[in-house]
Amino acid sequence: MPTLTSILYALSITGATALNYGSLNNNEKQFSQEFRDNYSILKHYGGNGPYSERRSHGISRDPPPACTVDQVIMIKRHGERYPSPSLGAGIEKTLSKLHAANTTFAGDLAFFNDWTYYVPNACWYNAETASGPYAGLLDGYNHGTEYRDRYGHLWDGESVVPMWASGYGRVIETARKFGEGFFGYNYSSNAALNVISEDEGMGANSLTPVCYDDRDAGICAALTNVMPLFKVAAERLNAQNPGLGVNETDVYYLMSMASFELNARAFSEWIDVFTQDEWVSFGYVEDLNYYYCAGPGDKTMAAVGSVYANASLTLLNEGPEKTNSLFFNFVHDTNITPILAALGLLTPEEDLPLDRIPFGNPYSTGDIVPQGGHFTIERLSCAQTAISNAGSYVRLVLNEAVVPFNKCTSGPGYSCPLEQYSTIVKGLLPDYVGQCKVPHKDPKSLDFWWVFNTTTELNYRTGPVGCQEGAVDF
């Protein structure tokens, strides 16, 4: 007769098998075979809506086995915000048209009878949101806590760590909230916020460099916000509400308004006013705007992005022994897309067409620069393994998904050996000063990562929050 000990031992070595057999006997699959349309409205807002992680290649976000992260260079877009004043003007004009209809709305717009606009007044345009589960300030704080968990080993708990923000109100507030999340109780004493002016005269010593010779501006200006399905949507809403009289442009503004609503509220009824196909069209219009106005479709943007890419390459080769381990930077969306263009990341083989949607397009801005989007460069220190040598490697992470660097994936976790990464990047980067005709009097290189303040005087706002606009809103 078996003893209790022998029974327990038998269970310990066969438990997993027994569980698997039990699943099979119940006709349950261990893995689902359903991979459906992967549809999410957050991927068709362009850069307007709440942050969402990038759809990944299935590569683990954690460091590869035998590797540790010894240096991090991150650049983050500010958190979720209200619409810009110019977009707000178009939205208000369309809303006025709806109110002027003086009717009880029906069909897809029935909710509009009781709906109120989520922007309290014009002062709030451009401001970071502070309400709702997708709030911009919450985004910054949560991101800081997540990176403390991921990269906290790079801070000794005592040193003062500089951070850098471009000189715009919502960008600075995002940096502050991120700092509070990362440093916790020590933020007031161990973080040193450096604010870098957005003035064009900063030249290359800037987080927001500009090109003085933007020859592609005409292409950008020629883009239209109208897609065929916008007309279909307008006809549907007019049929449901006779006399309404909305057109394709009104539909674009209503969809833009909807894409910002979740930044301030937990729920938007406007989302269901439009079909999935219409949202896909809207998202592609946003892709076109970023591609041709701030991305690889504008041939000057690679030169603009080369400023950051070149300086970060210097940091990686110096390593944490000569510089620091943590470099947290905060900017706008259109300061990140040029960096990706400079590195040749996600650039389509051909320019995006203006007359159709190219499915499989790698330049999907919902995956690239959502509100709160960020691009992180990791320097890995790896031990010898059976398939790779000991040494330093580079891994690129966009919105928490590992993005293999072009064709250089021979390192652990599909990373790129630092030496090879350096060679490739040096061959890619154009001359910013020459191509963009930087004035002689302006700085020709980025040096604030090496020359920075360690005071805490900018860590907090010193006065009340007034109207939200302003480039020097400390």
Q: What is the CATH number of the domain that holds 188?
A: 3.40.50.1240
Q: Is 22 part of any domain?
A: no
Which pLDDT belongs to residue 131?
Answer: 93
Q: Picking from 25-39, 296-310, 408-422, which range would have the lowest pLDDT averaged per residue?
A: 25-39
Mean pLDDT on 429-438? 96
Which pLDDT belongs to residue 22?
Answer: 45
Count Cα atoms within 13 angstroms, Cβ side, for 375. 26
Which pLDDT belongs to residue 409?
Answer: 96
Average pLDDT of the chain? Answer: 90
Mean pLDDT on 413-431? 97
Is the pLDDT at 465 greater than 90? The verdict is no
Q: Is 199 part of any domain?
A: yes
Which residue reads 């949607």 in tokens? 357
Which pLDDT belongs to residue 216?
Answer: 59
pLDDT tens for 135-187 read 999 999 999 999 999 999 999 999 999 999 999 999 999 999 999 999 999 99
Mean pLDDT on 231-245? 96
pLDDT tens for 87-145 read 999 999 999 999 999 889 999 999 999 999 999 999 999 999 999 999 999 999 999 99
Is the pLDDT at 466 greater than 80? The verdict is no
Which pLDDT belongs to residue 301?
Answer: 96
Is the pLDDT at 9 greater than 70? The verdict is no
Is the pLDDT at 474 greater than 60? The verdict is no
Mean pLDDT on 426-430? 96
Which pLDDT belongs to residue 17?
Answer: 40
Residue with more model confidence, 361 or 222: 361
pLDDT tens for 13-49 read 444 444 444 444 567 888 878 777 778 899 999 999 9
Is the pLDDT at 7 greater than 60? The verdict is no
Is the pLDDT at 469 greater than 80? The verdict is no
pLDDT tens for 334-347 read 999 999 999 999 99
Is the pLDDT at 4 greater than 70? The verdict is no
Enzyme catalytic residues: 78, 333
- Alpha carbon 354 to chain centroid, angstroms: 24
pLDDT tens for 177-210 read 999 999 999 999 999 999 999 999 999 999 999 9
Q: Is 24 part of any domain?
A: no
- Alpha carbon 31 to chain centroid, angstroms: 31
Total count of domains within the chain: 1
pLDDT tens for 66-76 read 999 999 999 99
Which pLDDT belongs to residue 182?
Answer: 98
Which pLDDT belongs to residue 103?
Answer: 86
Which pLDDT belongs to residue 226?
Answer: 65
Which pLDDT belongs to residue 166?
Answer: 98
Residue with more model confidence, 473 or 56: 56
Which pLDDT belongs to residue 19?
Answer: 43
Q: Is 469 part of any domain?
A: no
Which pLDDT belongs to residue 194?
Answer: 98
pLDDT tens for 240-295 read 999 999 999 999 999 999 999 999 999 999 999 999 999 999 999 999 999 999 99
Is the pLDDT at 464 greater than 90? The verdict is no
Which pLDDT belongs to residue 29?
Answer: 83
Is the pLDDT at 1 greater than 80? The verdict is no
Q: Is 441 part of any domain?
A: no
Which pLDDT belongs to residue 280?
Answer: 94
Which pLDDT belongs to residue 215?
Answer: 60
Structural domain harbouring 355 = 43-435
